[in-house]
Structure 1
């Protein structure tokens, strides 16, 4: 990539450098982008009083985040901030990118500051080379020229790194800009991320402001207070409508914050606050909407649509669904409680969203193993919070086996160094997954990479009943599609790997099949594990029969015509992992069984003694020897299941009622006892 000034976005604004090399003895020269012939020396605007946002970046409180955003925006939106649009890179994004980091071009909302991702610059900078587009408040560059500016940068960077994707992240107005650029450049590998796209501007209440302001005398200079009163009036009107629809007071507060954030940052300070500027901004929105909508059919880029369910400035929820329907290679995520300023929300940030949706890649094709980045503490805590109900309801007990064969409570028997392969039983609906993965990470710092069914990664037919967002946590925690190639890469990285030979057939078993293994006769994973000298740990999990009773299984549902069609339609969209297997084990048809819940019992895990393959590579190359070890593993898993089913009978806290009583007397932080191993 070409050089771009690595300076603080709060004290410097840097023009896009088209030169490919610079010397350290003289300041580089920059091009403005919209004027290719204009060459200006590097210059900085000194604002030493600008607060250091990176020190406050981890504060996820909405009001604080919004306040910081506005505070830092004013350093880029003053009356001295003239000139044409240009790119800057934030110092907070750092220079410690992962190898071959892709370029992220942030296209701002109508405010133009370019600071919409400012609270996440630090973490984004670990994944991307970040350039932000800054459009000064006094600038009057028309929309087609803005498109050309972004397009020139896009083509220039693509020529230098043709095999690396370029991310266009567009917020509101910027989403329209990103869509038009992508439509005009289908041959470039662009990944679009659209947040509350302003392609819905014509259907919004903001559109009603334009004719009103255009009718005002042009010589009338509107003061700050007048415009703010105008905005408050609009908020009040919307609030009345919201009240009629029984919208909560929280919605009104969110709306007020969105409007104030948008319009405070539209113009920065009083000196540039005018009717002319406001009219220009709204016309620019109108033009963006008019240019983007007719070109939606031409967008072929991989697209992630982010929609706020509580955006009262734009009809973003409906617009997200419309865009998802029109853009072929698109996925959508809706955030029900978020307002217009999605990236200012305490519960959502772009890094977590990209990881959870598997939208981060560094080459033309996504590599689920090599492109993966481990979860941050924030991402892990969020994942644990989302699945805390399972911990609370089932109080999982985890047992492991030491080298001497002794069974102990906890995970001390698990080797810290990989490669390690966990091979076990898949409970009904895979309910054991989240406690297993999250406990390993929290207690031992071990990231367990699950070999998962393609259903977790498939892009399903639009209108499908399956919502893949329910698998976001597993993707964040490192799940990869099950395949020999991915398994090989994980072994090579010395990972801790989770494999279920029984697959979907085991997790979607029929009535009376609890704790029955559905393993194929042969498996190649043993020989692959031996090739890397991996330790193989068999394990069992019980407790599904304590939590629910299977009422309607696959056999029952196939007798009902409408359900049979749904099952067949869903199964046809998913890769058949056992196409070379015949009989019962090949039947992995996807369905949702009906389960009658019981008073929650308890989940029990037992990880058996690690089986070493190091030094047995030559021996286990022999297929018969590998099959012997495979059968030994299967027998060990069944032994773990038998042990747990028997021992849980002696657990005085197997019932949730006894566990609640224990917590009431000892506190919720104290670990609930169980049987003696």
Structure 2
């Protein structure tokens, strides 16, 4: 909603800007003398047993670390980093899964902090920093103290509020994979934007000298995003990764800019509009309820969480009042204007990797349009859009920054992203959200999976799949790769096995134009997909993974009319030699059912005859990485296109996993190219045989069509397993 008119001006300001500020030099002697200062604050109680009213005063402590909420980080380089202490133990929640007897697939999930926590900690932090009147400084939340080894540094650059708690909902998760420093700008500080750039730049240079082989992450929202871009432009040779939430580089197009002259004449007694603050800070209440229910939380829990956040704002209106005087708002608006101009004038110098997070319902900035502009201008920029989110994206309940980083493949510990060592398995919540998004597809296709035991018996389910890797699953790629959805999820649900799919590099590329620029494959990346390469194959087998391979690749998944269940394999048998090198078990499998849900009516051969489609295919072909250029014939025809498909009354998907083929001890035998090719042809022949088997057996499945399956679930429950044919 675009807000105009004098009556709405203060409400817009109240949702954006921070505290009362007074002039203070960043490089002042007072700041340097307080280099090793801790903000010592007892946590405010968050439970019913310890009411939030039990507040304790705060003070600054010189020298050693003391128990508290924050650990301050010095601006200058020091010999050793201070060690966090007194990290309170958090109650573990969520789903923990075991692979076999010990291997954990899902990470343990912890309860996220709330909007109430934001106000509690902001109140304490403001009091602590205002007692000394010092300039901006770094702090690190103690709940972020249990990070993994070799974690990269993450500097959080706050929005116009300046508190530095914008990541509070993400502290516990993000603190496990990053060393987090947050920038806090005290209430009475009037540091200019250029001085803030110098402060962050000094910290970046100091930490780069300390760990030159690790990236430094700059996460900034609105004003902080301009700050991150400016530092990156001034330091193109430092390895920086920028994550920008609704950057204020679009300030010249914002409804906020015309308010500067208006605020100059606004009386101090002008009251703020609480309803508008609530709508901006807490987001859409109905959407919050829907998101919580989708996560599987009971209604009572959802109502309690919603109530806690909704009543947090009026309970802490005094905190907002302390940080929202007219002078502060005016100062922040002017800073936004200068920050936007400073950053925009230097965008051409930015060489860093950038992930822009754009909200579709940002009422203060044209964030969607700005995201598109930055995406086109910056060479290493990716964008993720959140259509239903508002201005304060990072504080919204259903937004998870770690999930976004994982989906965009933006997490790395060294100069290059490693798809194996930098990969983090999905949490139970991430997995459930991905599976739930395909519930309609699962219901329509009701996958029936069969596997083969060691004694050769075919059984319903995945009992025949070895628990320990390395295992190589080799199969047929259905139209559009639709079989992957059920396959990967069922392996996790039934056997707690994470299958790492080998995918086309185009899934990991940036497309600046065309329809492919609108596509993201984040769900598949979260589930473990990696780009095809010999190096990634080697690393996956080295880590004893279950690997999913489709030798037919894009040509098989984007086949033409009449080519259902036809294999398009290259002549090379490299995957057999790689499997033998690590003693991996090869499991051929067949999958059928694409002809039961749709029929291709406009294929590649048709589209290349139509100018509009032909131009699109050529444009896309010139952008993507070309594979198998050394091959001839149909297998080399990997041009990307989207086939036109007529849907059918849904049938059913069937999978048949054959008996594992042992390659352990065959390393020397399979060095012989002829013997290696024989095994390659055996795998190919097995897959075709399994496809034919499924096509024949499905004729005897009384539940092949959708209507009988729905009737069965109506009488037996919608979570019951639907019978199939007898194997």
Which category describes the TM-score, using the shorter chain as reference length? 0.7 to 0.9
Cα deviation per residue 1:123-144 (whole Å; 9 max; x = unaligned)?
A: 1122111111111122111111
Once the two structures are TM-superposed, the CA of residue 37 in structure 1 deviates from its matched residue by 4.0
Distance 1:669 1:250, change over 3 A: closer
Select 2:155's aligned residue among 68, 84, 105: 105
Matched, 1:42 2:86: no
Once the two structures are TM-superposed, the CA of residue 42 in structure 1 deviates from its matched residue by 3.1
Matched, 1:420 2:471: yes
Cα deviation per residue 1:46-102 (whole Å; 9 max; x = unaligned)?
A: 324354898599899x998333333332222235473211111112112331x3211
Distance 1:416 1:56, change over 3 A: closer
Instruction: Name the residue aligned to 1:76.
Output: 125
Distance 1:260 1:152 in 2: 40
Bigger mean CA deviation after superposition, 129-138 or 409-418: 129-138
Distance 2:718 2:535 in 1: 44
Matches within 5 A, 1:129-168: 129-168=179-218
Instruction: Name the residue aligned to 1:459.
Output: 510
Distance 1:337 1:572, change over 3 A: same
Select 1:330's aligned residue among 377, 381, 400: 381
Q: Secondary structure, in 3 states, of the residue corresponding to 2:220?
A: strand
Matches within 5 A, 1:608-627: 608-627=658-677
Matches within 5 A, 1:251-270: 268=319, 270=321
Matches within 5 A, 1:158-557: 158-216=208-266, 220=268, 222=269, 226-229=270-273, 268=319, 270-271=321-322, 273-460=324-511, 462-467=512-517, 469-557=519-607
Task: Give runs of ≥4 in structure 1 deviating > 6 Å.
Answer: 31-34, 56-60, 233-236, 248-254, 257-267
Distance 2:348 2:397 in 1: 34
Task: Give the TM-score, by structure 1 length.
Answer: 0.87
Distance 1:422 1:589, change over 3 A: same
Distance 1:549 1:497 in 2: 30
Select 2:114's aligned residue among 65, 74, 80: 65
Distance 1:523 1:323 in 2: 44
Distance 2:343 2:93 in 1: 35
Select 1:658's aligned residue among 675, 695, 708: 708
Cα deviation per residue 1:453-506 (whole Å; 9 max; x = unaligned)?
A: 11111112x222114644111101111111111101111111100010101110
Distance 1:412 1:69 in 2: 48
On the 8 A contact 1:138/1:277 being kept in 2, the answer is no
Instruction: Name the residue aligned to 1:9.
Output: none
Q: Secondary structure, in 3 states, of the residue corresponding to 2:181?
A: strand
Matched, 1:589 2:639: yes
Distance 2:640 2:466 in 1: 35
Once the two structures are TM-superposed, the CA of residue 290 in structure 1 deviates from its matched residue by 2.2
Distance 1:266 1:87, change over 3 A: farther
Instruction: Name the residue aligned to 2:144.
Output: 93
On the 8 A contact 2:358/2:385 being kept in 1, the answer is yes
On the 8 A contact 2:116/2:309 being kept in 1, the answer is no
Distance 2:314 2:339 in 1: 18
Q: Secondary structure, in 3 states, of the residue corresponding to 1:168?
A: strand
Once the two structures are TM-superposed, the CA of residue 232 in structure 1 deviates from its matched residue by 5.2
Q: Secondary structure, in 3 states, of the residue corresponding to 1:205?
A: coil
Once the two structures are TM-superposed, the CA of residue 388 in structure 1 deviates from its matched residue by 2.0
Instruction: Name the residue aligned to 1:636.
Output: 686
Distance 1:332 1:181 in 2: 20
Distance 1:285 1:360 in 2: 29
Unaligned runs of 5+ in 2: 1-24, 48-87, 95-108, 291-307
Instruction: Name the residue aligned to 1:24.
Output: none
Bigger mean CA deviation after superposition, 291-300 or 586-595: 291-300
Q: Over aligned residues, Cα RMSD in angstroms? A: 3.1
On the 8 A contact 2:133/2:186 being kept in 1, the answer is yes
Higher relative contact order (CA 8 A, sep 6+): 2
Q: Secondary structure, in 3 states, of the residue corresponding to 1:76?
A: helix
Unaligned runs of 5+ in 1: 1-30, 239-247
